[in-house]
Amino acid sequence: MSKSIFSILFVVLLLAGCSNTPSVEIISGTVEIEKNNLVEDSDELEFVNLHYNFVLKNVGRKDLGGDKRLNDATYDYDDGIKIYIEPSEKLKAISEELIGINIYDKEKNYGTGHTGLPVLKPNQEGEFSLDFVLGALKDNEQLKAAPSSEQLEKLKENAMDATLMVMVEDETIAQFDLNNLE
């Protein structure tokens, strides 16, 4: 009898501990090829980027991420939510073929921009985006030429052949196969 009570108590404590673990769901995800321009002084740079947009939801009972440790060098919160794309081998090869590099290499941070919330409260949804600069639309000394329209379409068609990684304080807390998004 005491073994049964101990077993039940152990399971209850285990479940109670798990229910406090932060968890996140992906609500939506999109990818687009965008044309942009940047004006500095009198110079205008027109370029193309690959833009991912995701909506994530904290379905846990406690805050996900933090906003206590601002990194002065990156203007990101070291304790905040971060996302990155882990490409499939096929997507990595397409990137290398069309752009000349693996744009998804998070260690080298090739021309990426990102936005997102450092913290998601319980039941809160937040929008997160990643941008990868693909090249200039006009001759330019600062940036190599963008791939052709057909090549950009090929990249876009395969851009969701990847995994979205969600991290807090350098720890992966969730992974989402982007091929499975509706």
pLDDT at 14 over 50: no
Does 17 score more than 90 pLDDT? no
Higher per-residue confidence, 144 vs 56: 56
Residue 22 predicted with pLDDT over 60:
no
Q: Please, which pLDDT band fits residue 58 given cuts at 50, 70 and 90?
A: very high
Give mean pLDDT, residues 106-126: 83
List 164's β-bridge partners, or say none: 85, 176
d(CA 126, CA 54): 8
Task: State residue 73's pLDDT score.
Answer: 62
Domain assignments of the chain as residue spans, ordered by start: 23-180
The most distant pair of C-alpha atoms in the chain lies apart, rounded to whole Å, by 83
Burial (0-12, 13-18, 19+ Cβ within 10 Å), 78: middle
**Contact between 48 and 99 (Cβ < 8 Å):** no
Q: Which of 171, 169, 173, 177 is nearest to 66 (CA)?
A: 169
* The pLDDT of residue 64: 86
Mean pLDDT confidence for 88-99? 95
At residue 16 the predicted structure's pLDDT band, cuts being 50, 70 and 90, is very low
Nearest to 133 by CA among 109, 116, 151, 162: 109
